Every structure is written in structure tokens, then in C-alpha cells.
Amino acid sequence: MSKFQELINGDTPVLVDFYAEWCGPCKMMAPELKKLADKEGDRVKVIKVDVDRNPQASMAFQVNSVPTLILFHKGKQLWRQSGAASAAQLSGIINKVLTN
């Protein structure tokens, strides 16, 4: 099992940012994801997956545009969005999804 699969199948929720180096909105997301990671601490892991370097992961999760954000918990996809979002928006979504 790959490190990526171990993470998304674990007990800690994982927000995966599928991005590309050449993507303008992806670059805008970087500081927002840092803020989110700082705020959430150990409650939620935030990881980035470069779609150009990991085409098998983007194909497996049908990522057709970047940025695409997917929240996983215990191997299940709980939420997904294509496009940029602020740290505050993401925090609200995570709280809502994880408490339902």
C-alpha cells in the first residue's frame, strides 16, 4: 500500500489538494492551505498531490481540473470541490462534513 493510500485510509481526516505547478489558482491556494493546516493542527492532515507528477492518482480520483480538493476519512471521499477556496471556507466545510 502506498503512503498516499495509507493516509487517506487512516483515522485522521485528510484534505488532498490536487494541483499543478503551472496553475495560477493553485498558487493562490498554497497560503490558504497553510493557514488551514495551522488552524486544524493534528485534527486534519493537508497534503498536496501534483497531478503532473502523479497522473495515476489524478486518474484514480477523476481529477479533471486543478485545483481539486477532496476530503477523505477512513478511505471514504466525504467532500470534493474543484476551484480555489479560502482557509475559512475550507474550515467551515470540514467542520460541517465531519460533524454529520
For residues 82 and 68, give the distance between their C-alpha atoms in angstroms, rounded to a whole number: 4
Sheet containing 45-50: order of strands: 45-50, 14-19, 68-73, 76-82
Catalytic residue among 26, 29, 36, 90: 26
Catalytic residue among 8, 14, 16, 23: 23
**Contact in structure between 16 and 70 (CB atoms under 8 Å):** yes
For residues 56 and 38, give the distance between their C-alpha atoms in angstroms, rounded to a whole number: 29
Return the DSSP state at 32: H
**Is residue 53 annotated as a catalytic residue, yes or no?**
no
**Is residue 64 annotated as a catalytic residue, yes or no?**
no
Instruction: Give me 97's grid cell.
Output: 462534513
**Residues known to be catalytic:** 23, 26
